[in-house]
Amino acid sequence: MALEVGIVGLPGSGKTTLFTALTKAAGGEYGKTNVGMAQIADPRLGALAEVVKARKITPATIRIQDVPGTGPALLGNLRQVDALLVVVDGFTPGGDPDGDLENLKLELLVADRDHVAGRLERVGKQAKSDAKFRGEVDELTKVFAHIDAGSPLSEYGEEVPEALEPLTTKPLLAVQNGPGGIDLALEVELAELSDEEAEAFRDGGASALEEVVRRLHDALDLVTFFTAGEQDTRAWTLRNGQTALEAGGTIHSDIARGFIRCEVIDWQDLVEAGSPAEVVKRGKQRLEGKTYVIRDGDVVNIRFNV
């Protein structure tokens, strides 16, 4: 399953421009919900593909959703994303990026407040006829009191009910559109060029996507692992601390269901050895079980039987 990120921002801040720069999608339309996929550049992937002579290379991806506006109903569409990108206006004369960011944080807070209030009302009605809901009413009442006092749920101090899917607990990354941040209009123009032409124009500097992905990796504590075969060499992302079994599920649910063992090679060992067989010969392939914690740069081959 791809990492999923929502883009939010005040009108005219450049949300859809960021969406277009990240996804290289020509169909990003202002005022509409836009959904697309962005590839995560990783130089290790090409090196691995060269070793195994892969016919296809598939980078890891991020699913990007850009919603039009900041009302509670629209923001509610982003409750299942992994993180939020907040675009602030840094190009308009007299603009106030810091003020815009605070306004957007308030919009997220209001959306969560309305969401908790609605759920509390529904569960409160159910509790009148079914005692099993009374505990949830007590819990939601405490959550509502916290957020009604103007504090985000990231500062709640206790575990927030998972079913709420609050917006104010998600990692929030500000993207300033303008000279003091990222020139998104320029990035859209560069997205229309080949990768080589765009890199030459930037003189080796990072693209908007590479900068955003770096920050997302840090905020979400992600690791990248690889599957390397002649048919397809591919990159995948996991949260740091997730296991080989969870890596199998990321690739395909059947792999997790029939997991037997995991053959693991460090990507540098594979590139230096020149072939999987030579890695085995050098004794640098490891056999791991379901509970093995995947490391950044692992090349995995999961044996399974369904």
Handedness of CA 219, 83, 115, 131 (dihedral sign): negative
What's the rounded Cα separation, in Å, for the pair 244 and 250? 10
In this prediction the pTM is 0.85
Q: What is the pLDDT of residue 204?
A: 65
> What are the two backbone dihedrals, phi and then psi, of residue 272, each rounded to the nearest 5 degrees?
-70, -40
Domains, the chain, ordered by start: 3-217 (1.10.150.300), 241-304 (3.10.20.30)
Question: CA end-to-end span of the chain, whole Å?
Answer: 20
pLDDT tens digits for range 260-276: 999 999 999 999 999 99
Task: Give the CA distances from residue 29 to residues 68, 108, 176, 190, in Å, rounded to whole numbers and listed in that order.
Answer: 9, 23, 20, 18
Predicted pLDDT at 211: 81
DSSP state of 207: P
238 band by pLDDT with thresholds 50, 70 and 90? very high
* Mean pLDDT confidence for 113-126: 92
pLDDT at 197 over 80: yes
Which tokens hold the place of 305? 């039987």
Tell me the pLDDT band of 26, cut-offs 50, 70 and 90: low
Distance CA(137)–CA(126), nearest Å, equals: 9
